[in-house]
Amino acid sequence: MDRLSTTETIIALETAALEAWHKGNPSPYLELYSKDFTYFDPAHERRLDGWDKIKTLYESMRGKVAMDKFVILNPVVQQTDTMAVLTYNLHSYVGETRWEENCTEVYRLEENNIWKIIHSHWSLTKSSID
């Protein structure tokens, strides 16, 4: 079996989490987040600190997100031995309506060579929805 490169691994982890998220299931993201996770989102005035806070937020959204499809555009992974930063543009669709967002995910290589997200930052690409 071929080992995936760090770039391929990070993008595969993110894609799998997004696939579930767009069907209302936050569990894959919650499994990726470290216990000291921090989170910026355009819907919140302040940063959320800690896994417990993001779990509470995501559980309140479980089953409520329903997107038809998404496209990851321009993914770039920059890395050191134990850190990787993934940046990309995300287009999510419900019918013809498209949401455009920018994403930055900071991954840290933890025990047993498992990548965990320690920080996530989301922003709207446009100020309004198409």
**Is residue 101 assigned to a domain?**
yes
Q: Is residue 69 situated within a structural domain? A: yes
Q: What percent of the chain has pLDDT over 70?
A: 94
Rounded to an integer, the average pLDDT of 23-30 is: 96
Contact between residue 44 and residue 54 where contact means Cβ atoms under 8 Å apart = no
Per-chain mean pLDDT for the chain: 92
The CATH number linked to 97 is: 3.10.450.50
What pLDDT, on a 0 to 100 scale, did the predictor assign at position 1?
37
Structural domains counted in the chain: 1
Query: The dihedral of CA 37, 69, 103, 61: what is its sign?
Result: negative
In a domain, 72, yes or no: yes
Q: Which domain holds residue 49?
A: 6-124
The answer to whether residue 95 sits within a structural domain is yes
Domain assignment of residue 58, yes or no: yes
The answer to the question of residue 130 being in a domain is: no
Distances in Å between the Cα of 62 and the Cα atoms of 15, 19, 27, 73, 110 are 18, 14, 9, 25, 27
Q: Tell me if 55 is assigned to some domain.
A: yes
pLDDT-derived band at 78 (thresholds 50, 70, 90) equals: very high
In a domain, 119, yes or no: yes
